[in-house]
Structure 1
Amino acid sequence: MHRSASRLTRVLACAAVPVILTVAGCSSDSGKDSGSGSGKKSDASSSAKPNSKASTAVEKAVYSTLPEPCKTVAAKTIETIVPKAKDGNGTAAKSNDLASRASCSWNGLDEAGLKGSQYRWLSISLVRYDSLASVGTGSKRAEDEYAKQVEKAKVVEGAENMKPEAAGGIGDQATSFTFTTKKDGDFSNTTVIARTHNVIITLDYNGTAYEGADAPDHAKLLADAIAATKETVASVEAANQQKQPEQAPAPSNS
């Protein structure tokens, strides 16, 4: 009875140990002294064998860097959607790691005399996620964060007439949002949140009219925002393309 109770205690102790440790700590039930050297060879090799889950390397992230944030869209695009931009080159935000987090913004006021003025503001932000064994692949991490950002975008403070819609044809996932705000004027706002593999892109584009000019057209703002987001996705891909090494010529048989 004493021997049976001792063995049951040992089994229960092994069951409580995390999976990663069970092979090393509870591989044998013989009760022999593991340090005596008298155990079977199979027992020793079993104890030394690493756990397959622990030893499997996490899949490498698809993208390893980000493009220059102020060059994610072409200069012609900025001229079109942000007329009379104060700085056509954009204003980049400070970042300690531009390969993982970067953003740029543009703004401009297009004055048309008696026809009034049109103001536009554009911001493009990029965040890249690496693969980490403790939390998963870069793409899975980005996918989880994308879902959080989409939910957060639905409840922007002061937003009216919020309209979220799935936006197809942009990276792996994308959602667009159109809404209005009345702070400092009647602004028409568009946001596009997109994911391309392990990178999340957030594009904010808004505008308003002054001095009797017609209010910005929401449909036009959305179309411009989607086009700029697609351009940004292409820039991420281009920044990560590496020149394939030239293959050495095949040896001659002559």
Structure 2
Amino acid sequence: MHRTAPRLARLLACAAVPVMLVATGCSDDDSGDKKKSSATPSAAATPSASPSVKEATFTKLPEVCKTVTEKTIDSIVPKAKKKEGDPLPASDSNDSASCFWNGLDDEDPKDMQFRTLTISLKRFTADPALGSGEKRAQAFVTQRTTKAATEDGAKEAKTEKLTDIGDEANSVASDYRKSDDDYRNAIVVTRTANVVITVKYSGAGYQGAKNPDAEGLMKNAQTAAKEAVTAVADANKK
């Protein structure tokens, strides 16, 4: 057991690093219009033509580290180092936010299991040039799912559509090897209106223990995703 600490340090170093998502905005430059004088009063009163865009459904994000219950953390990240999670830096927590948990269950010396969980939220607003918040979120789901299929250098990832989480959802299951350690990823990318939630749940056997069952790992990732979807809706209740 005296080798557990350095081994865990290696696992932590190799654990998946959540992708930080930074929202970009667009602004219109109307300086040219200011230089033009209106020929008639009616022309001055006429607003510039622009397509109407549906307002975003959700105007804020929940506290990301509270999107899953403590009971769920106890279940899927046994012996989590911090049950409350570690919030990751974000330029604007109302547009994007992530939280990270990790833990090593070493109760059985012959079956030590390491787990990490990352939940990331990204909220999209309506933009006349880019479309509604929902349309932008839909595009991001596709983008994020594609990226998840090759994340951590994974090969032969299995991607499936899910029908019971949010407005749309995809799952990505993969295995990868890093620094002589074998890992297994279960990633769920789901959208609820204009918010995209990415749940990345990873596991590894420690000191010769078997890797976690892929089906069980994905089931836990989906549980976390469903709770996060509910948390987004609850945070926006008036």
Is the structural similarity TM-score above 0.5?
yes
How far apart are the structure 2 equivalents of 1:227 and 1:65? Answer: 22
Residue 125 of structure 1, CA deviation = 0.3
Q: Secondary structure at the match of 1:232?
A: helix
Query: Do residues 218 (structure 1) and 205 (structure 2) align?
Result: no
SS in 2 for 1:120: strand
Indicate yes or no: 2:102 matched with 1:92: no
Deviations 1:18-71 (A, max 9, x none): xxxxxxxxxxxxxxxx97x9xxxxxx85x56737842x6432100000000100
TM-score, L = length of structure 2: 0.78
Q: Confirm whether residue 62 of structure 1 aligns to residue 53 of structure 2.
A: no
**1-structure distance, mates of 2:54, 2:211:** 48
* Stretch of structure 1 that moved more, 171-180 or 108-117: 108-117
CA separation in 1, counterparts of 2:63 and 2:183?
28
Q: Give the match for residue 147 of structure 1.
A: 142
Say whether residues 1:236 and 2:222 are aligned partners: no
> Which of 175, 178, 182 is residue 180 of structure 1 equivalent to?
175
- Which sections of structure 2, spanning at least 5 residues, go unmatched? 1-37
Residue 61 to residue 192, structure 1, CA distance change in 2 (3 Å): same
- Residues 1:167 and 2:195 aligned together: no
| 2:127 maps to 1:127 | no
CA distance in 2, matches of 1:197, 1:125: 16
Counterpart residue identity of residue 153, structure 1:
A
Output the amino acid matched with 2:204: T
Deviation at 1:95, TM superposition (A): 1.8
**Which deviates more from structure 2 when the two are superposed, residues 233-242 or residues 178-187?**
178-187
Q: 2:199 aligns with which of 198, 203, 215?
A: 203
- TM superposition shift of 1:238: 0.4
Give 2:110's aligned residue. Answer: 115
How many corresponding residue pairs?
201
Structure 1, unaligned stretches of length 5 or more? 1-33, 38-43, 243-254
Q: Larger Cα Rg: Structure 1 or Structure 2?
A: 1
Task: Report the AA paired with residue 230 of structure 1.
Answer: K
Deviation string, structure 1 residues 118-176 (Cα, Å, up to 9, x no partner): 00000000010111222221111111122222222223352133100001111111100
Higher relative contact order (CA 8 A, sep 6+): 2
Q: CA deviation at 1:177?
A: 0.5
Task: Give the counterpart letter for 1:150 in structure 2.
Answer: T
Shift of 1:101: 0.8
Q: Show the counterpart of 2:68.
A: 73
Q: Which amino acid aligns with 1:229?
A: A
Identity %: 41
Query: Does the C-alpha gap of structure 1 residues 105 and 157 become closer, same or farther in structure 2, counting only changes over 3 Å?
Result: closer
Using structure 1 for the length normalisation, give the TM-score: 0.73
- Deviation string for 1:75-116 (max 9, x for gaps)? 000000000000000000112311111110000000024323
C-alpha RMSD of the superposition: 2.2
